[in-house]
Structure 1
């Protein structure tokens, strides 16, 4: 599964990952209150045209806003709503949302109850192991969520206070799996096919969710899905297929955000495509170009034979 990543899992990336074989993909985190107000940026994050199944992740600290956001997502075609209780960002946790909710289980339960009760579609939950090493409470939150009708749990194998430092503790996810009967997904530090298999073995989880390692290679989530299903590697996409995917992603971003905002949004993806293609000397030119025609040309150049790209 492709993880929700703020500022990253735009509609174009989700379409690509799904087409390359990801079991399902999740939108960027959508702020429930802003989404309910009709905020354009959050409506774009929740957009799901061409993605099936379409999963929208919502975050907030007010039960009424979470319920209404879930209803809007369902009315707009979402097949599933995911509740964010794992985001470690300070601007989210200081608003009593994201992983802050692991410090306030009564509020977390109110939010879950309101969201599940508002829609007919499945509601899932993404969380961390706990706030810090002294308060590992993911198994408890998992049991509460299951009792309120949550259909699936995703657990990032770090605490909030770790942010993304150190190594994700896949084995600690096993305690959540033992505490519930619903499916559990392991998340955190899956950078290779070997990692995907090791995550399942260590965590006892039912599936893996891949985040940062899919940036610049949206085909990787499908590679992992195939490997876990068949225990064999499928052929890597050709350089031409990867080039075409990068170009499609870029065009999709421009279509979604418009040229000016799209150029800024695309830079993280362009840098990653250049990294994975081996075109290190093109990277700076690619992320500073202002003309979409030049970006397209440089992207094509990045996926030429490595020796040619490095010489460019």
Structure 2
């Protein structure tokens, strides 16, 4: 078993990465029932929480059915991070995660996210401020370093462990890489194999097939894997990886009924959580990924993104099931570059 403080996870747990505008409660719910072992909220601005910003506060919503679940915060000011940690405490998640990895300009220019990789002393102070302000286990998600000339994750891991974090997730790219190129897991393996490191180390970056998950498990020896983009529109990846690691065999790709069932679950949870208008609007970004691989789907997809009533969307989904009944999906060949969003933490 893998343990984060007192949180018990299965051997080699699969984590859903926190993704801005993706990892909301409806999406987390469908990932949970399809095998995700630990999930995180979208990242939340510490300044936004302190200002009582509506969007930031709504991201604190968590539900017992998705536990264990962590709330992720970001910021570059010690006092703001400490105060936001106290606010997070009040909603009783299982853990609190700090984002030191988001590479997008709007976050970095505020001295937060991956910007903190340029000042490890500040990273340590921010982390210590959070650890000292909460009773929750504190974890961190970060990258290898700012650029190829400053890959400092080894030093970062030791110093963050020393101030009290309980687990570390590492994305195998630098900030300057953004999401380009291939994730480099060798530095992640060195952190895991460092005899000073006693906390769980989770690897993140480019895991998009069961084969790759098993290969990276064996090659790099990490305690578990965090999956981001590959789960968008395909929450089945968690159970597919678990089955392949256990048996060496592939599960059959989900059929049309299975896919539509998950779309319905996602849709109705979205409407229940955010209301009809917002819930339906926010689902529109997901249909392309859920229905990828279906021939001549454009007409149906156009209906799904223009209809404004849940009952009408259900009727279109019924049409899709009827039209593609018996369609044999191929094992997914994922184009990771096509799965973009504003920030993978």
Matches within 5 A, 1:199-210: 199-210=216-227
1:107 to 87, 104, 122: 122
SS at match of 1:242: helix
Q: Could you say which residue in structure 2 is the equivalent of 1:293? A: 311
Q: CA shift at 1:236, angstroms?
A: 5.0
1:196 to 202, 213, 236: 213
Matches within 5 A, 1:1-312: 1-49=15-63, 50-179=65-194, 180-228=197-245, 231-234=248-251, 236-237=253-254, 239-275=256-292, 280-281=297-298, 282-304=300-322, 306=324
Output the TM-score relative to the length of structure 1: 0.91
Output the TM-score relative to the length of structure 2: 0.83
Distance 1:303 1:211, change over 3 A: farther
Higher relative contact order by CA 8 Å / sep ≥ 6: 1 or 2?
A: 2
The structure with more helix, counted as a fraction of residues: 1
Q: CA shift at 1:209, angstroms?
A: 0.7
Instruction: Structure 1: state its 5+ residue gaps.
Output: none
SS at match of 1:125: strand
Answer whether contact 2:256 2:325 (CA < 8 A) is retained.
Answer: no
Q: CA shift at 1:280, angstroms?
A: 3.1
SS at match of 1:160: coil
Q: CA shift at 1:226, angstroms?
A: 4.1
Distance 1:272 1:304, change over 3 A: farther
Structure 1 stretch 53-62 or stretch 232-241: which is displaced more?
Answer: 232-241
Aligned mates of 1:278, 1:14 — CA distance in 2: 28
Aligned mates of 1:306, 1:171 — CA distance in 2: 43
Computed over aligned residues only, the root mean square deviation of the Cα atoms, in angstroms, reads 2.2
Distance 1:279 1:148, change over 3 A: farther
Q: CA shift at 1:232, angstroms?
A: 4.7
Instruction: Structure 2: state its 5+ residue gaps.
Output: 1-14, 328-345
Q: Could you say which residue in structure 1 is the equivalent of 2:338? A: none
